[in-house]
Amino acid sequence: MDAQQLSQVESLCETLYTGIPAKLGGAKPVDRNEAQQRLLSLQSNAEYIPQCQYILDNSNSQYARLVASNSLIELITVHWNSFTVPQRVDIRNYVLGYLANKGPTLQDFLVLSL
């Protein structure tokens, strides 16, 4: 994921939570339902875990962070048995480190989500 993709995700999240249509690169504006469908793709495959982490680490949007944390939780829950023990430890350490470093500055709903 790069900065442009992060910006698109943030716009989609803003649309999802506020209802204000997002304009993504020229085509017709994206409405709330389409934004939700696009964002649900983050929960479709465990390969999206790094993208969720990238969003959490780099986004300034609380909405994008919430979508990323919910997606991360869903992916971890659904694919738990697919992870090796070291991968589980890495995921746990990532979430605990994230909360330790950024928890005091995050919105309560995001801390509770994680």
**Whole-prediction pTM value?**
0.88
State both tokens at 58.
């780099």
pLDDT reported for residue 76: 92
Alpha-carbon torsion angle 48, 50, 52, 55, nearest 10: -140
pLDDT reported for residue 25: 67
pLDDT reported for residue 22: 74
Gap between the Cα atoms of 10 and 113, Å rounded: 18
> Mean pLDDT, consecutive 10-residue segments, the chain of 114 residues?
89 89 73 90 92 94 94 93 93 94 90 88
pLDDT reported for residue 30: 83
Q: Characterize 24-55 residue by residue with b for buried, 16 or more Cβ atoms within 10 angstroms of its Cβ, and e for exposed.
A: beeeeebebebbeebbeebbeeeebbebbbbb
